[in-house]
């Protein structure tokens, strides 16, 4: 899958491999900087900024990664390129910046509100799960929202792959939240947590996001909602 990565550990890299990988990243970053300096169309400019931001994350240059991602975000939001906007929020949320949690909330809102690639929506919701204390209900709400997004938007093989992924995600949340270790207990837990009602799940998710953004949002959500199709 494009946005969701396996967490299984691979073979350990030797120091020579790490140095080589770093050199390749630095070369790619220099190429992107040259392209940005040469002038690109807005969408391509944002894409290059995002590619650079992800490389900077890999190089552990978090402040620079946040700056590039925020610049990309400010380019694509007026263009209503929501997929790149969510990716920009994903980068910002992985940094130590003061607004990292706020960026995550912005990405989740866009990823749930707009019919972007469902895998990306699941990825940003998984990020929220990971950033939520295991015993907090918010992780269960985010995982349930991911399940709803998959059921609503995904098709074909991607649907079955994502359904398997979010089932594992929900199972892990249930185990950490309440020690759930069987299907029977999971069904009881899910019913008790009211995770099978999409409207309720989305309402609870909205309240979580408002906590993460206690002041001004970076975009006008009411204006964006007003432009959504009626159906």
Tell me the angle at which helices 82-93 and 100-113 cross, rounded to the nearest 10 degrees.
150
DSSP string covering the chain, please?
--S-------PPPPHHHHHHHHHHHHHHHHHHHHHHHH---HHHHHHHHHHHHHHHHHTT-HHHHHHHHHHHHHHHHHHT-HHHHHHHHHHHHTS--TTHHHHHHHHHHHHHHS---HHHHHHHHHHHHHHS-TTSHHHHHHHHHHHHHHHHH--HHHHHHHHHHHHHHHHHHHHHHH---SHHHHHHHHHHTT-S-HHHHHHHHHHHHHHH--S--SS-HHHHHHTS---
Q: What confidence score (pLDDT) does residue 165 get?
A: 96
Summarised one tens digit per residue, pLDDT across range 82-96 is: 999 999 999 999 999
Is residue 7 one of the residues assigned to a domain? no
Identify the domain boundary among 64, 97, 130: 97
Tokens of 69: 């991602």
Identify the domain boundary among 97, 123, 140: 97
User: Would you place residue 22 in the very low, low, confident or very high pLDDT band (cuts 50, 70, 90)?
Assistant: confident
Q: Residue range 135-145: average pLDDT? A: 95
Q: Residue range 101-129: average pLDDT? A: 97
The answer to which of 11-20, 117-126, 148-157, 170-179 has the lowest mean pLDDT is 11-20
Q: What confidence score (pLDDT) does residue 160 get?
A: 95
Q: Do 133 and 93 fall within a single domain? A: no
Q: pTM for the whole thing?
A: 0.90
Q: Are 224 and 124 in contact (CB under 8 A)?
A: no
Tokens of 154: 């995904």
Summarised one tens digit per residue, pLDDT across range 147-204 is: 999 999 999 999 999 999 999 999 999 999 999 899 999 999 999 999 999 999 999 9
Is residue 8 one of the residues assigned to a domain? no
Is residue 191 one of the residues assigned to a domain? yes
Q: Do 141 and 222 fall within a single domain? A: yes
User: Would you place residue 38 in the very low, low, confident or very high pLDDT band (cuts 50, 70, 90)?
Assistant: confident
Is residue 77 one of the residues assigned to a domain? yes
Across the chain, mean pLDDT equals 91
Q: Do 150 and 56 fall within a single domain? A: no
Is residue 190 one of the residues assigned to a domain? yes
Q: Do 110 and 181 fall within a single domain? A: yes
Q: What confidence score (pLDDT) does residue 11 get?
A: 47
Q: Do 82 and 175 fall within a single domain? A: no
Percentage of the residues of the chain whose pLDDT score is greater than 70: 92
Q: What confidence score (pLDDT) does residue 229 get?
A: 80
Domain region containing 49? 14-97
Summarised one tens digit per residue, pLDDT across range 51-100 is: 999 999 999 999 999 999 999 999 999 999 999 999 999 999 999 999 99
Identify the domain boundary among 79, 97, 115: 97
Q: What confidence score (pLDDT) does residue 19 get?
A: 60
Q: Do 78 and 167 fall within a single domain? A: no
The total number of residues written for the chain in this structure: 231
Could you give the angle at the alpha carbon of 118 between the alpha carbons of 168 and 155, nearest 5°? 90
Q: Do 144 and 81 fall within a single domain? A: no
Q: What confidence score (pLDDT) does residue 8 get?
A: 36
Distance of CA 23 to the CA centre of its chain: 28
Overall number of domains in the chain: 2
């Amino acid at each position: 899958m494009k946005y969701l990565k396996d967490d299984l550990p691979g073979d350990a890299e030797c120091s020579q491999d790490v140095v080589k990988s770093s050199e390749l990243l630095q070369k790619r970053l220099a190429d992107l900087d040259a392209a940005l300096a040469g002038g690109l169309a807005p969408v391509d400019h944002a894409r290059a900024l995002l590619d650079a931001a992800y490389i900077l994350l890999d190089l552990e240059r978090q402040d620079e990664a946040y700056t590039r991602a925020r610049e990309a975000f400010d380019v694509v939001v007026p263009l209503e390129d929501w997929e790149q906007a969510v990716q920009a929020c994903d980068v910002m949320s992985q940094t130590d910046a003061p607004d990292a949690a706020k960026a995550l909330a912005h990405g989740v809102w866009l990823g749930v509100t707009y019919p972007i690639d469902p895998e990306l929506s699941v990825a940003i919701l998984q990020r929220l799960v990971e950033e939520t204390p295991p015993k907090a209900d918010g992780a269960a709400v985010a995982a349930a929202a991911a399940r709803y997004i998959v059921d609503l938007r995904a098709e074909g093989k991607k649907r079955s792959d994502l359904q398997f992924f979010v089932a594992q995600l929900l199972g892990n949340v249930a185990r950490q939240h309440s020690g759930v270790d069987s299907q029977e207990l999971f069904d009881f837990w899910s019913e008790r947590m009211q995770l099978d009602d999409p409207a309720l799940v989305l309402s609870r998710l909205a309240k979580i996001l408002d906590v993460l953004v206690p002041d001004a949002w970076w975009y006008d959500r009411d204006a964006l909602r007003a432009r959504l199709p009626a159906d």
